[in-house]
Amino acid sequence: MTMRPLDGITRLVFFLIAVGVLVLAGTVIYHQSTTPAIDAVIDWQTGVVLSVPQDSFANYAGLLPGDVILDLDSIRRHSTLDNRIVQIKRGNQTQNLELPFRSLAQLNLPDLASALIVMLACFGIGAYVLWRRFYQIEARLFFVLLLCVGAGWLLFSAYPQPTERPYWMAVLSSIGFHFAGALVVHYYLIFPVALGTPQRRRLILSVVYPGMLIALGLRLSETDLGIRLTHLYNALELCSALALLVYAYAYRATPDGRRRLRLVVIGTTIFGLPPILLYMVPIIVGATTRMPIWMVGLFLIASPISYMLAIIRDNLFNIDRILNRTLVYLILSLGILLLYLGPFLAIYNFAPNDWLAQAMIAASLTLLVGFAFDWSRALVQRWVDRVFYNGWYDYPGVIEKITAALARTLDRAQLVDVLTRQVSTLMQLHPGELRIDENPGFSENPGFLHQLQFPLSFQNQVRAVWTVGARRDDEDWSATDRRILQTLARQAEVALGNVLLVEMLRRQLDEIRAMQHELLRSREDERARLARDLHDGPIQDLVGLNMQLGLLLVQGTSIAESLPAVRGDVRALLSELRDVCAELRPPMLDTIGLGAALRVLADDWSNQSGIPITLDLSANAQLRTLPPEVAVNLYRLVQEALSNIARHAQAHQVALCLAWQDTRLTLTLQDDGSGFTVPTTFHDLVAQGHFGMAGMQERVTLIGGKWSVDSAPGKGTTIHVSWRLANS
C-alpha cells in the first residue's frame, strides 16, 4: 500500500500524542521525586494539621492533629529532602519541631503506582490497537479516548492532596476527563455499528463537543456549583455512552458482533455504573463520596481490560491471530530459556570449569528441544487457543485443518467424516450430514435448530447436499461462520469432484477387467470350439483316411481302385478346413470385398436361422476402397449383430443397409424383434451383461466411427454406424 502525504501527517500527529502522554508520565514521576513534603494532612489555608498517620515520619517527630504550623510559606518554599525546624502552636504554647521532609513519590507511592498502572494499561491497549488497525476510525478514536482517560487519571489520582498538584496539571486533568467523556459518546455512536444516519450523528456530536467545552469552563471556575454541574454533565455522557453500547449490542449488532462484544458490554456496564453511582452522584448532590479514589481507579481500569480480553478471546478489531501466535512463541521461548537455564546454573555452581560436561549438556538439551519442539508447540497452541477462544473455535485454524483433510480425501467415507464429524468438532456444531446421490435434493431435519445446507456440484450437476448442524450455543449463525462454511463448501465441492472421478475411474477399471475376463473367456471358448471342430471334423477324417491307407497296404488291393474314394475324403477334408479358416477370417474380404462378403454372410445366416434378410449395399467397387481394418470390423459387427438377433430378438424380418454418402459410410441394421431397454452408457452395457453390444461399440470406436442403438421393448432394434474417410 502506498502511503499518501496525509497519512504520514496523521501518523506523525498520533505519534506526537503518544510521546506527549509518556512525557507527561515522566514529568509526574520527576515532580513527585523532587518535591519535598510532610507526611501529614494539612489545611494549607489555615495551617491546621488535620491528621497524622500512625506510622508516619511526622508522627515520630511529634506532630499531632490540631497543631497549627505557623510558617507555611517557608514550608512551601522548602526544596530539599532533609529535616527542617518548623514552628508550631499547640494549644496556647508555641514550640519548634524538627520535621523530616520526604519526596511526594515516597509519600504517595501507592497512589502514584496505581495511577501509573492505569495510565500504562490504557496507553498499551490503545497503542497496540492503533498499531494493528491504524486506518480504522474506531481504532483511532479508541486510542485517543484511552489516552485522555489515562492522562486525566494519572494527573488526578497521583496527587491525593489537590494542593500538592501544580495548577497546570489540574487543568490538563480536567481537559483529559472532559474530552474522554465526549469521545466515549462519539466512539459508541460508530462502534460496534454506526447508529443513525451521518446527519444525525453530526447533530448529536455538535451538541456533545460544545457541551463538553462549557462543562470544562465550569470546572476550571472552581466554584462549588460549577464542579457539581461538571460532574452532572460527565455522568450524563457516561450514561448515554453505556445506553448506546447496550442498544447497539441488543438491537443492531450481528450475532457475531454480539459474541465479540459480550465481554465489553459486561465489563463496561458492571464496572462503569458503580463509580457513577457511588462517586460522581454524591459529588453532584453535595454529599460525601461512597467510594475511595483507589477503588475508582480499579473500576476504571476494568473497561480497558475487558477490551483486551475481548481482543484476545473474541477477535475484537480482528487482531487475535497475531496475539495468539505471539503468545505461543513467547511461551515456547520462555520454556526453552528455563530448560537451558536450570542445568547450566547447576553445572556452573558445582563444576564451573568442566567444559566437557557443559558441552554435553548443551548438546543433549539441543537434541531434546529439536525432538520435542513440534509436540510442545502443538500442546501450547491448544492451550492458548482454549484461553483465547473460550471454548469456541479458531477461525483460521479450522480452515487450515479442514482444507488439509479435504485435500487428502479420495473416497466417500473420508468426505463424509470430514464434513460431518471434523467440521462439527472444530466449529463446535451439532452433527451434520452429507447426502451424495444423482439427485440428492434438500431436506428439513427437525433435529437441527439453525441448519445450513450447501449444494455440491460436479460437472454442472448437483450431486451432493451438505447439511450443517446448528451451533452448540444455540445462537444464530454469524457472518464469519457463514463465510467460513461457504469457503469450506467450495473446497468440499472440489473434494467431491475428486471422489466421484476416483469412483468413475475405479468403475472403468472394473469394467476393463470384466472385459478382459470376458475376452479371455471368449478366446478360450473360441479355441475350445476350434479344437473341437478340428477334432470332430478334419482330424477324424484324417484318422479315417489313415486307416483306409493302412487297409490298402494290408489287403494288397489295387491302389488305383481305391484312389477315387481317398481323393473324395481329401476334398471333403479340404472343404472343412476352408470353412474353419473362413470362420477365423473370411477370405472374401481380401478378394471380392466387403459387399460380397456381407451377401454371403447374410445368405448363410438366413438359411440357418430361417429369418429373411433384405440387403441394400453400395457397389462393390466403392466398398473395396475401404481400409482392411475398417472392412473386417464392420464385417464382424454385422456378424455379431446377426448372431444376437438369431439368439435373442425373435425377429421376423431383418434389413441391412450399407451406403456411401459423399465421404461418409453408413451402416444400418434393423430388425422387428422384441427389442430391449438401451443402457445410457458403455459402462452400463457391460454391467447389464450386453457383452456383444459392448464389443460392437469397441469395434466402432477402434476404427474412429460413431455408433448408436435405438430400441425399446416390443419395438425392435436399429443399429446405426457412421464412418468418415480420415483425409476428409
Asked whether the predicted pLDDT for residue 186 surpasses 80, the reply is yes
Asked whether the predicted pLDDT for residue 3 surpasses 50, the reply is no
Residue 411's H or E segment, with its range, is none
- pLDDT in the model for residue 51: 83
Asked whether the predicted pLDDT for residue 343 surpasses 90, the reply is no
Q: Comparing C-alpha atoms, which of 482, 576, 575 is closest to residue 530?
A: 576
SS3 4: coil
Q: Comparing C-alpha atoms, which of 464, 415, 410, 471 is closest to residue 438?
A: 464
Average pLDDT over residues 40-49: 79
Indicate the pLDDT class of residue 351, thresholds 50, 70 and 90: low
Measured at the CA of 9, the angle between CA 6 and CA 11, to 5 degrees, comes to: 110
Q: 308-329: b or e for each residue (b if 16 or more CB lie within 10 Å)?
A: bbbbbbbbbbebbeebbeebbe
DSSP assignment string, 54-87: TTSHHHHHT--TT-EES-HHHHHH--SSSEEEEE
Asked whether the predicted pLDDT for residue 76 surpasses 50, the reply is yes
For residues 259 and 82, the model is more confident at: 82
Indicate the pLDDT class of residue 446, thresholds 50, 70 and 90: very low
Asked whether the predicted pLDDT for residue 554 surpasses 70, the reply is no
pLDDT in tens, 216-247: 888 888 788 888 888 788 888 888 888 887 78
Asked whether the predicted pLDDT for residue 40 surpasses 70, the reply is yes
Question: What is the spatial distance between Cα 435 and Cα 488, in angstroms, rounded to a whole number?
Answer: 16
Indicate the pLDDT class of residue 390, thresholds 50, 70 and 90: very low
Among 39-53, 76-90, 414-428, top mean pLDDT goes to: 414-428
pLDDT in tens, 298-333: 677 666 666 666 655 545 544 445 555 656 766 777
Average pLDDT over residues 431-441: 79
- pLDDT in the model for residue 319: 45
Question: Left, alpha or beta for 53 (phi > 0: left; psi -120 to 50: alpha)?
Answer: beta
- pLDDT in the model for residue 56: 77
Q: Comparing C-alpha atoms, which of 593, 598, 540 is closest to residue 569?
A: 540
- pLDDT in the model for residue 7: 72
Instruction: Specify the residue for cell string 479458531.
Output: 394
Q: Comparing C-alpha atoms, which of 206, 265, 272, 188 is closest to residue 235?
A: 272
pLDDT in tens, 703-725: 888 888 888 888 889 999 998 87
In this structure, what C-alpha cell is assigned to residue 260? Answer: 465479540
Radius of gyration of the chain (CA): 50
Task: Give me the chain's average pLDDT, please.
Answer: 77
Question: What is the spatial distance between Cα 177 and Cα 192, in angstroms, rounded to a whole number?
Answer: 23
Asked whether the predicted pLDDT for residue 29 surpasses 80, the reply is yes
For 116, residues 6+ apart whose C-beta sits below 8 A from its C-beta are 25, 29, 154, 158
Residue 42's H or E segment, with its range, is strand 41-42
Residue 552's H or E segment, with its range, is helix 540-555
Is the separation of the CB atoms in 650 and 616 below 8 Å?
no
Asked whether the predicted pLDDT for residue 655 surpasses 90, the reply is yes
Indicate the pLDDT class of residue 656, thresholds 50, 70 and 90: very high
For residues 538, 543, 545, 549, the Cα torsion angle rounded to the nearest 10 degrees is: 160
- pLDDT in the model for residue 560: 61
Q: Comparing C-alpha atoms, which of 191, 188, 153, 195 is closest to residue 173?
A: 153
For residues 79 and 722, the model is more confident at: 722
Instruction: Specify the residue for cell string 443397409.
Output: 657
Among 58-67, 177-186, 274-283, 376-385, top mean pLDDT goes to: 177-186
Is the separation of the CB atoms in 214 and 190 below 8 Å?
no
- pLDDT in the model for residue 236: 87
Do β-strands 433-436 and 462-468 pair in parallel, antiparallel, or remain unpaired? antiparallel
Bridge partners, 85 (sequence order): 98
Average pLDDT over residues 354-368: 73
Question: What is the spatial distance between Cα 219 and Cα 240, in angstroms, rounded to a whole number?
Answer: 20
Residue 26's H or E segment, with its range, is helix 5-34
Asked whether the predicted pLDDT for residue 2 surpasses 50, the reply is no
- pLDDT in the model for residue 721: 92
Asked whether the predicted pLDDT for residue 93 surpasses 90, the reply is no
Percent of the chain with pLDDT over 70: 71
SS3 290: coil
Question: What is the spatial distance between Cα 60 and Cα 46, in angstroms, rounded to a whole number?
Answer: 23
For residues 612 and 280, the model is more confident at: 612
pLDDT in tens, 584-622: 666 666 677 788 888 888 888 888 888 999 998 887 666
- pLDDT in the model for residue 33: 86
Q: pTM for the complete prediction?
A: 0.46
SS3 587: coil
Average pLDDT over residues 6-29: 87
Q: Comparing C-alpha atoms, which of 657, 648, 630, 644 is closest to residue 694?
A: 644
pLDDT in tens, 560-592: 666 666 666 767 776 666 666 656 666 666 677
SS3 474: coil
Q: Comparing C-alpha atoms, which of 224, 222, 221, 273 is closest to residue 245?
A: 273
pLDDT in tens, 672-708: 988 888 776 655 665 555 667 777 888 888 788 888 8
Percent of the chain with pLDDT over 90: 4
Question: What is the spatial distance between Cα 569 and Cα 575, in angstroms, rounded to a whole number?
Answer: 10
For 485, residues 6+ apart whose C-beta sits below 8 A from its C-beta are 452, 454, 468, 477
DSSP assignment string, 643-660: HHIIIII--S-EEEEEEE
Indicate the pLDDT class of residue 520, thresholds 50, 70 and 90: low
- pLDDT in the model for residue 448: 45
SS3 662: coil
- pLDDT in the model for residue 447: 46
SS3 720: strand
Bridge partners, 433 (sequence order): 467
